[in-house]
Amino acid sequence: MFKNGSSEIGHDLVTFEDASGSGSGSGSGYWDDDDEDDEDHNLKAYFIPLCILAGLIVMVNSFILVIVWRNVKLRSNCNALLVSLAVADGTTGLVGIPVFVSLHFAQDRMTIQQLCFTYISVHTWFWFMSIVSIFHLLVIACEQYLAILKPFSHDKIVTKTSTAITLAIIWLLTIGHSLVPWSWTLRLGDEFCYVYDETEERNDKIYTILSIVAFFCVPIVILFYVYYRIVSEAKRQLCRIKRESVCSRGKYPSLSSCTRFRGFYIIALMFVVFVLCWAPYFVSVCYEAFGHEIESWLSYKLTLLRFLPSLLNPIMFAFWRSDFRAACIEKFCCCVATNDQTRSTLSSGKQQLPLMNRENRLSDSKDSKPQNV
């Protein structure tokens, strides 16, 4: 974290050689003016897509919350997990990214204590987001496991009470674990930015290793096992459905039967995205915990990469689910349905108009026939 009086902002921010000043530029930097201008230009170009990403994250996850709030049919136990995940992802774009970006532009006007405090808070937020995401993916995968492998026990286990308790445990455990580093940081008082003894260094290493093993490696192993069981059961059931359908009716099963496990594949895709986006970050954290440094350009890319799941999760899961798709169509395609109904009414009216004219002509001809005779 902070060693020998220098504020190591993880290369996400400008690093100062002398941290004994107030953070207003009294310390000497590593670069000259030209290098600093180039660095600022690169950082501004880096923060622009980051701000766009924050806006997209807030918009997409807010849309998920609004859809569930306005549609009673979507208020199921499984969707409650998705709503909780949308809340966590939405706060990334609403709080996490803005604080991260503003920290860079406001660091010259902050004291070293404020800078250290904000920096530790940002990294606490990173730990929180990674752990809460993996917990949600794990619980959602277990729910799918019960739905496919134990369908008769699913409704008994997955209830409103059990879902609420599970979500409460996820949030409380994640918040509690993320705040653990503050226990040995704040005990130093105002000197926590300048003092970095062997005890604090050992605590950081132990915390980092245990966190990666307990909240990343172990859940990944569990998810691999759950997905393996679901894939095996899915193949077995689909083969049985196909065989019974061919033998009984002489034709292949319907498309709905073949795509009944699509929700599982969406969860698996979310898991792959999580691993690809967060694994490099955990590796870099472990690498820095043992005294190594990472290049600035690589740190910037890792920062952008670890924010992507907050945008991709609702798109992959919620938008690809049949109930959410139906709700989206119902909400945004009402005007299309109204226009179609209007066109069909007009077309039916046009079809009825010649019939009416024909009947009128026939009636006129019948009325005029005696006169011709």
pLDDT tens-place string over residues 309-341: 899 888 887 666 777 777 777 766 664 555 555
Beta bridge partners of 2: 7
Backbone angles phi, psi at 314, to 5 degrees: -65, -30
**Residue 264 and residue 164: Cα distance in Å, rounded?**
22
Q: Beta-strand (E) ranges in the chain?
A: 2-3, 6-7
User: Could you identify the residue written with the tokens 């993320």?
Assistant: 178
Q: Where are the domains of the chain?
A: 44-331
pLDDT given at position 27: 39
- Contact at 8 Å (CB) between 50 and 304? yes
Structure confidence by residue, pLDDT tens digits, 227-284: 888 888 877 877 777 776 655 555 444 444 445 566 667 767 877 888 888 888 888 8
**Mean pLDDT of the residues in the chain:** 73
CA pair distance 277, 308, nearest whole angstrom: 7
The full DSSP string for 78-117 is HHHHHHHHHHHHHHIIIIIHHHHHHHHHHGGGS-HHHHHH
- The pLDDT of residue 40 is 56
Using only C-alpha atoms, the chain has a radius of gyration, in whole angstroms, of 30
Query: Could you count the other beta carbons within 10 Å of the beta carbon of residue 368?
Result: 10
Band (365; pLDDT cuts 50, 70, 90): very low
Class of domain 44-331: mainly alpha
pLDDT, average across residues 148-163: 88
Render pLDDT for 41-98 as a digit per residue (tens, 0 to 9). 566 677 888 889 999 999 999 988 988 888 888 888 888 988 999 999 999 899 888 8
**Distance of alpha carbon 39 from alpha carbon 198, whole angstroms:** 33
| Residue 37 CA: distances (Å) to CA of 34, 42, 46, 101, 108 | 5, 9, 14, 18, 15
Average pLDDT rounded to a whole number, residues 144-154: 85
**Separation CA 85–CA 313 (nearest Å):** 8
Amino acid at 108: D
Q: Do residues 289 and 200 lie in contact, with contact meaning Cβ atoms separated by under 8 Å?
A: no
Buried b (16+ CB within 10 A) or exposed e, 96-119: bbeebbebbeebeebebbbbbbbb
Take residue 143 and report the two structure tokens written for it: 């729910």
Q: What percent of the chain has pLDDT over 90?
A: 13
CA–CA separation, 223 vs 271, rounded Å? 8
Contact predicate 42/293, CB 8 Å: no
The rounded distance, in Å, linking the Cα atoms of 258 and 238 is 7
Cβ neighbors of 148 (< 8 A, separation 6 or more) are 230, 233, 234, 237, 261, 264
CA dist., res. 17 & res. 30, Å (int) = 7
Cα–Cα dist 88/65, whole Å: 11
Coarse DSSP helix, strand, coil percentages of the chain, rounded to the nearest 5 percent: 80, 0, 15
Q: Which residue has the higher pLDDT, 10 or 166?
A: 166
| Average pLDDT over every residue of 150-178 | 91
